[in-house]
Structure 1
Amino acid sequence: MKINHLTSAEENLMRLLWRLGSFYLKDIMEQHPEPKPHQNTVSTYLKILIEKGYLSTEKEGRIFRYHIMVPVENYRKFLLTQLSDNFFNGSGKEIISFMIHEHVISAEDLNDFNSNLKPAIQKKEPEFEYANEVLNTKKEKKKSKDKKKKKKKEKE
């Protein structure tokens, strides 16, 4: 499924909708923080979100029940991929370097992350393979290359 970009206002509304999961227009109006938008404004945004594929509707009598079609995790992944591709040459290394330089992430946070991630990397869990490149030191990378060469020679 192709995910489309959201405007800032659409994204703010979607944050509320992701919390609700399945809802009616009245639920949105009750849960929306102050200042509450006009009901017609919310209806317009709901129509746009349906067109963009974020929501679906189910008619129940004279009213519509709305359902989330794009989970927040999928949207988060979409945004991070867009950010990475557009501003960091698709490199996770560049993102982490930028975050450290801008003090978004501390060395302590990175060390905690690294220590929690190491067991998963050692188990060769596929979703953590990217972490080898980012977290391994040059010596560890060289050892890894040497092991691969050794295995290759043993097979020959």
Structure 2
Amino acid sequence: MKINHLTSAEENLMKLFWKLESFYLKDIMEHHPEPKPHQNTVSTYLKILVEKGYLSTEKEGRIFKYTVIVPFDEYKKFLLRELSHNLFNDSGKEILEFLFNEKLISQDDLKGYFDLKIELKPAKIKEPKLEYANEILNPKKDKKKDKKKKKKKD
């Protein structure tokens, strides 16, 4: 199914249509918030949305019953793919970085979505060889004898 772009006015009407799923023109006029558009305007948008493949029609007597064809989740997927492709070079990493930087998402938000089982094990650090420090702190007896001999000679 090919999904087409919607104008902001079409998208606003589709938000109402997705809630209703199946409806008549009178249902739209009843459910649309104030200020209500003129009935002819809504009829024009309905015709456009049918042509774009978002709605289907079924004639019942003298009136049409409209049904949503493109589910809201499919439209969201379409928009996110377009956004990812056009603005983020198809990189999920870039999208996440942007969301974090703009504080639109936090790590706590992601904890419920990703069940990552990462165990952090402490790295084994080799103790540095402190030869000179050990010589100073723990001098060998042989060296003491050598030092005593040198002092006696002087």
Q: Aligning the two structures, in what range does the TM-score lie when normalised by the shorter sequence?
A: 0.7 to 0.9
Within 1, Cα distance between the matches of 2:78 and 2:71?
11
Alpha-carbon distance in 2 for matches of 1:29, 1:106 = 40
User: Unpaired runs of 5+ in structure 2?
Assistant: 121-154
What does residue 19 of structure 1 align with? Answer: 19
| RMSD of aligned alpha carbons | 1.8
> Which amino acid is the alignment partner of residue 6 of structure 2?
L
- Partner residue in 2 for 1:143: none
Aligned pairs for 1:91-106 within 5 A: 91-106=91-106
Compare CA radii of gyration and give the structure with the larger one: 2
Percent of aligned pairs with the same residue?
68
Shift of 1:56: 0.7
The equivalences for 1:23-42 within 5 A come to 23-42=23-42
Following superposition, which runs of at least 4 residues in structure 1 exceed 6 angstroms of deviation? none
Structure 1: 5+ residue stretches without partners: 120-135, 140-156
Aligned-partner Cα distance in 1 for 2:22–2:113: 34
- 1:9, distance to aligned residue in structure 2 (A): 0.3
What corresponds to 1:127 in structure 2? none
In the aligned structure 1, how far is the partner of 2:19 from the partner of 2:47? 19
Instruction: Provide, for residues 76-101 of structure 1, a one-character-per-residue CA deviation record: whole Å limited to 9, x for no partner.
Output: 10000000000000011111110000
Structure (1/2) with the larger helix percentage:
1
Match of 2:139 in 1: none
Partner in structure 2 of residue 71 of structure 1: 71
Distance 2:110 2:24 in 1: 42
What is the alpha-carbon distance in structure 2 between the residues aligned to residue 101 and residue 111 of structure 1? 18
Structure 1 position 107, deviation (Å): 2.2
* TM-fit CA distance, 1:37: 0.3
* Count of paired positions: 120
The CA deviation string for residues 79-132 of structure 1, in whole angstroms up to 9 with x for no partner, is 0000000000001111111000000001221233333xx48xxxxxxxxxxxxx
- Please name the residue that 2:54 is paired with: 54
Whole-Å separation in 2 of the counterparts to 1:107 and 1:57? 45
